[in-house]
Amino acid sequence: MSKKRNDRITSRDVDFAKWYTDVVIQADLIDYGPVKGTMIFKPHGYGIWELIMQTLDVEFKQQGIENVYLPLLIPASLFNQEKEHIEGFAPEVLTVTKVGDKPLEEELYIRPTSEVLFSQYFKNNIHSYRDLPLKNNQWVNVMRWEKTTRPFLRTSEFLWQEGHTMHQTSVEANQFALTILNLYAKFVEEYLLIPVVKGIKTINERFAGARETYTIESLMHDGQALQTGTSHFLGDNFAKVFDIKFQNADRELEYAYGTSWGVSTRMIGALIMTHADDEGLVLPSKIAPVQVQILQLGLDEPVQRVVDQLKLDLSKNYRIKVDASDKTFGYKMSASEIKGIPIRIEVGMRDVAQEQVVISSRVGEGKTAVKLDQVKTFVDQAVITYDQQLFSRAKTSLETRIYQAQTLSEYQKGIETQPGLYLVPFCGRVVCEKEVKQKTSTNSRCIPFNHDQSVEPCFNCGQATKIKAYFGRAY
Amino acid sequence: MSKKRNDRITSRDVDFAKWYTDVVIQADLIDYGPVKGTMIFKPHGYGIWELIMQTLDVEFKQQGIENVYLPLLIPASLFNQEKEHIEGFAPEVLTVTKVGDKPLEEELYIRPTSEVLFSQYFKNNIHSYRDLPLKNNQWVNVMRWEKTTRPFLRTSEFLWQEGHTMHQTSVEANQFALTILNLYAKFVEEYLLIPVVKGIKTINERFAGARETYTIESLMHDGQALQTGTSHFLGDNFAKVFDIKFQNADRELEYAYGTSWGVSTRMIGALIMTHADDEGLVLPSKIAPVQVQILQLGLDEPVQRVVDQLKLDLSKNYRIKVDASDKTFGYKMSASEIKGIPIRIEVGMRDVAQEQVVISSRVGEGKTAVKLDQVKTFVDQAVITYDQQLFSRAKTSLETRIYQAQTLSEYQKGIETQPGLYLVPFCGRVVCEKEVKQKTSTNSRCIPFNHDQSVEPCFNCGQATKIKAYFGRAY
């Protein structure tokens, strides 16, 4: 690693938590909001979320999913209908009790998620098998009051998409939940350049009210895991509670089967903890609000002409920003670096006189003088190389930190000295997982698909089991 | 007007209010939400809003405006800092008082608008004249608890964009508020095909906390006005309350000058009340989620082939939907009509055998048989003609219902028999407008730009005035 140059950012190896918040603030992603645990998404932070939304929205529409908007507030009586669900969310739910000075007749909850609203909506709009599958999504804000909060990772209010679908059969619904999980995994790996592990949540970690929760998990730079997206197979659970029935082709009434799934602004936290470094943010090109920054040095006419031409040419394929301010070169370079902009092009008199500019990337070593007529080709290749570098180093970081453990003490020792994901034989019982959590302050991340099925004793209770699960510290 | 064919929709001339809600529901735009005055935006309704957002967002970005996201909840103490502002909103504000069962230390308001949050954000981010102008916008949900509610027009929760900017000088801020007003007017006329009247709000109708409110007003089919967008020049009012200062080029501290401006899902209500008719919704092509619907009659191979080819060809330029269901032709046609889809293409065996299809528009008379190789050209022209028809009839409807009145009794008589916009000499005083409101249950819509400046007695109090204002009933 090169020598640390930015003294506004704590070194990642010295204090990871402090490093994280320094990057978030110095990269101009957010300000803290006036209410505990809330954030102001500044243009650079919101710009990343806009690109995430745009990309996923196209993918959803290709799956026949249509966007809707359901209300922010849920009447307490409606929310309380599904027991497991309300138990899971009750302690975190913000409650509206009055308007101005006047008390409301019924208390209203700010949505922590919208399964119950969608259930009522589905009940009203599903009558026949012809109405199925019904696939909807919404991009909204939700609130969950958290004790300890951290920007992006755990905030009282966050932005997300929540998809909700209904199907004729259990098999189709379950299959669709997996389709979405794969869509998420592809997006996270190809756009955010974060490698993922796919799997099933244990019963203890399952979404309140779901029959099965599928998850993608990623490993952050400090060896802690982060759940980047979940997709739930709800079975006919909500359908039974909210009486969502359809007439099948034989004119019989049947319960419908549901899914729900979401990814949130949490993904931006994963981005930071995967790619950023001691100099600041590092953004994958596909979700970088600015992909190429032109650092204009001086306002001389030849420089201006080259900047204008480059801007015109490169804008066709890239999101470009020109820094033509009167700040020093060092300041401009540092600002571009902190914000994680992938490619920088320096345009100054000396180089322009030689019909060239100087190009560098946020992660590569050194700079290259490139002739003006070669800039486009060079940038095209530099962006590809840059993204490959990001994914490749993240993949190495994940792969080298997947371990195995057979016993709890082996696991405990491992997690202390070599943080990462530990594949362990696990009985899967809630009581056993709670015991592990109490002893280690860690829990299961997922039961990976296609793991070795040999019978072994559970790493905690010793009970014979075929299941293997990843355990580790997590955000 | 042709004979009414749809018996699920009350005739517009019989009961305008009932007609409106019938269209909203039958066109599948919304369901009512479980909390009073809230709505569920169904795919067809949300689809219109998505197109409005996409179009305006591009326009905003061309103005150098960047999107941000500020929190949903505002601490009561912060909101209460600006007296006029809180007085205007207090009775409608939903208040969060607890989390789960635990009371909060400070009550939190769900944003009815975000001037105070932006003020705090601006204070933290504006230091030097180099930071100005600062132009931000957010697409969010807001809540205002309304006594009487109607879908889109007046709802407890609505979706909108709120833009907030800060400038170095009063002149620049005021100019920018007008730039946005003109941007709104252009959008509403060119995309929603609703003609507007531009002007200034009277003091009585001014936004709480603004120095000047600019507005665009439209006239609905029943002769009542609807405010389709407003842009506020805030002066240094919020800057003084929240201490938003910048260092100017001479290194002196000055207050910054602000604007705020917004349009909401209310515009969809204006769309309906301007263009829809007794058969259902009528959508301008540019914001129609489906622009061309192919009504496929039967599944015979030649029919299927033509449908597939048309879909492929037309999808390049239009949002296309194929109805290939086993419903009757009458049902399909009626469904397309209710939803307001601009262009219909019928594809059946008899026509396909003659290498043709039958094309009609949502508002034109009759149908045209069009040879297959002419369809693209025909549709291109049909869409242009369709939009022209919509705007032209709306413009006639507005222009023929702008009247003048010199006295209150003349105005009162007029508004009862011929609803519309009445240009009257008006002193502009709050007390006088309140008197008019009490006597007539109507208020001013705006003081139009560039009106005749001759001195005349105020239509209510008789005081000499140069001002003329539009008065009328409004939504």
CA A471 vs CA A201, A399, B331: distances in Å: 11, 15, 57
- Selected for mutation to probe chain A from B68, B80, B105, B128 (highest A CB count within 10 Å) is B68
* B191 inside domain: yes
Domain stop point among A353, A381, A397: A397
The ipTM (two decimal places) reads: 0.96
- Contact call for A71 and B157, based on CB within 8 A: yes
Domain stop point among A243, A275, A307: A275
Which residues of chain B are within 8 Å of residue A124 when distances are taken between CB atoms? 31
pLDDT digits (tens, 9 = 90+) for A406-463: 999 999 999 999 999 999 999 999 999 999 999 999 999 999 998 888 999 999 999 9
Print burial letters for B50-85: b (CB count within 10 Å at least 16), e (below 16): bbbeebbbeebeeeebbbbbbbbbbbbebbeebeeb
CA distance to partner chain A, nearest, from residue B52 (Å): 14
Which residues of chain B are within 8 Å of residue A114 when distances are taken between CB atoms? none
Q: Residue B1's pLDDT is what?
A: 42
Task: Extract the residue ranges of chain B whose pLDDT is less than 50.
Answer: 1
- Contact call for A40 and B159, based on CB within 8 A: no
Same domain, A213 and A118: yes
Which residues of chain B are within 8 Å of residue A72 when distances are taken between CB atoms? 38, 72, 110, 141, 143, 157
- Which token pair is A339? 């914000």
Cis peptide before B133 (omega within 30 of 0): yes
* A7 inside domain: no
Q: CA-CA-CA-CA torsion for B180, B181, B183, B186, nearest 10 degrees?
A: 180
CB burial class (10 A; 0-12, 13-18, 19+) of residue B290?
buried
Which residues of chain A are within 8 Å of residue B65 when distances are taken between CB atoms? none
Domain stop point among A249, A275, A301: A275
Same domain, B179 and B227: yes
Closest-CA residue of B relative to A124 is: B31
Q: Residue A307's pLDDT is what?
A: 98
CB burial class (10 A; 0-12, 13-18, 19+) of residue B115?
buried
Among A212, A255, A253, A252, which residue's Cα sits nearest to residue A230? A212
Closest partner residue to B120 (CB to CB) among A34, A68, A98 is A34
Interface A:B, Cβ pairs < 8 A: 157
How many CA within 13 A on the CB side of residue A216? 26
Same domain, B334 and B449: no
CB A100 within 8 A of CB B89: no
CA distance to partner chain B, nearest, from residue A141 (Å): 8
- Contact call for B72 and A157, based on CB within 8 A: yes
CA distance B223 to B398: 8
User: For A262-374, where are the alpha helices, taking DSSP H only?
Assistant: 266-275, 301-315, 329-338, 349-353
Same domain, B113 and B206: yes
* B6 inside domain: no
Which residues of chain A are within 8 Å of residue B38 when distances are taken between CB atoms? 71-73
- Selected for mutation to probe chain B from A29, A52, A77, A95 (highest B CB count within 10 Å) is A95
- Contact call for A69 and B159, based on CB within 8 A: yes
Closest partner residue to B40 (CB to CB) among A40, A68, A94 is A68
CA distance to partner chain B, nearest, from residue A69 (Å): 5
Chain-centre distance of CA B288, in angstroms? 15
Same domain, A135 and A77: yes
- Contact call for B34 and A71, based on CB within 8 A: yes
Same domain, A451 and A361: no
- Selected for mutation to probe chain A from B72, B268, B323 (highest A CB count within 10 Å) is B72
Q: Residue A1's pLDDT is what?
A: 42
CB atoms within 10 A of CB A127: 12
Which residues of chain B are within 8 Å of residue A38 when distances are taken between CB atoms? 71-73
CATH number at residue A170: 3.30.930.10
CB atoms within 10 A of CB A308: 13
Q: Residue A4's pLDDT is what?
A: 66
CA A142 vs CA A109, A155, A259, B268: distances in Å: 11, 10, 19, 25
Closest-CA residue of A relative to B327 is: A130
Chain-centre distance of CA B121, in angstroms? 27
User: For B132-254, where are the alpha helices, taking DSSP H only?
Assistant: 170-190, 237-242
Q: Residue A84's pLDDT is what?
A: 78
Closest-CA residue of A relative to B79 is: A34
- Contact call for B67 and A46, based on CB within 8 A: yes
Furthest-apart CA atoms within chain B: distance in Å: 81
Which residues of chain B are within 8 Å of residue A108 when distances are taken between CB atoms? 35, 94
A231 DSSP β-pair partners: A214, A261
Among B73, B246, B64, which residue's Cα sits nearest to residue B165? B64
Q: What does residue A51 show for φ and ψ, rounded to 5 degrees?
A: -70, -35
Closest partner residue to A73 (CB to CB) among B38, B90, B91 is B38
- Contact call for A43 and B141, based on CB within 8 A: no
* A454 inside domain: yes
* A252 inside domain: yes
User: Which residues span the domain enclosing B67?
Assistant: 16-275
CA distance to partner chain A, nearest, from residue B144 (Å): 9
CATH number at residue A426: 3.30.110.30
CB B263 within 8 A of CB B226: no
Residue B105 belongs to what H/E stretch? strand B102-110
- Contact call for B34 and A125, based on CB within 8 A: no
Q: Mean pLDDT for chain A?
A: 96
Closest-CA residue of B relative to A65 is: B43
pLDDT digits (tens, 9 = 90+) for A191-244: 999 999 999 999 999 998 999 999 999 999 999 999 999 999 999 999 999 999
CATH number at residue B381: 3.40.50.800
Closest partner residue to B78 (CB to CB) among A34, A74, A120 is A34
- Contact call for A31 and B159, based on CB within 8 A: no
CB A48 within 8 A of CB B69: no
CA distance A451 to A469: 9
Q: Reply yes or no on whether the pLDDT at A390 is more than 60.
A: yes
CA distance B30 to B152: 9
Helix B375-399 to helix B301-314 angle (10° resolution) is 60
CA distance to partner chain A, nearest, from residue B387 (Å): 26
- Contact call for B78 and A50, based on CB within 8 A: no
CA A83 vs CA A86, A235, B145: distances in Å: 5, 16, 30
A305: region left, alpha or beta (phi > 0 left; psi from -120 to 50 alpha): alpha
Residue A358 belongs to what H/E stretch? strand A356-361
CA distance A34 to B114: 13
Q: Specify the residue for token string 């046609």.
A: B333
- Contact call for B68 and A31, based on CB within 8 A: no
Q: Residue B395's pLDDT is what?
A: 98
CA distance A160 to A262: 7
Closest partner residue to B35 (CB to CB) among A41, A49, A73 is A73
* B396 inside domain: no
- Selected for mutation to probe chain A from B95, B130, B137, B323 (highest A CB count within 10 Å) is B95
- DSSP string covering A93-112: -EEEEEETTEEEEEEEEEPS
Same domain, A245 and A296: no
Same domain, A455 and A385: no
Print burial letters for A342-357: b (CB count within 10 Å at least 16), e (below 16): bbbbbbbeebbeeebb
Total number of domains constituting chain A: 3
Q: Specify the residue for token string 């092509």.
A: B285
CA distance A353 to A370: 13
Q: What does residue B442 show for φ and ψ, rounded to 5 degrees?
A: -130, 165
CA distance to partner chain A, nearest, from residue B100 (Å): 5
- Contact call for B125 and A90, based on CB within 8 A: no
CA distance to partner chain A, nearest, from residue B94 (Å): 4
- Contact call for B141 and A141, based on CB within 8 A: yes
- Contact call for A33 and B141, based on CB within 8 A: no
Same domain, A315 and A411: no
- Contact call for B35 and A71, based on CB within 8 A: yes
pLDDT digits (tens, 9 = 90+) for B235-285: 999 999 999 999 999 999 999 999 999 999 999 999 999 999 999 999 999
Same domain, A201 and A67: yes
* B281 inside domain: no
Same domain, B239 and B156: yes
Q: How many helices (H) and strands (E) does chain A have?
A: 14, 25
Same domain, B428 and B456: yes
Q: How confident is the model at residue A3 (pLDDT cuts 50, 70, 90)?
A: low
* B9 inside domain: no
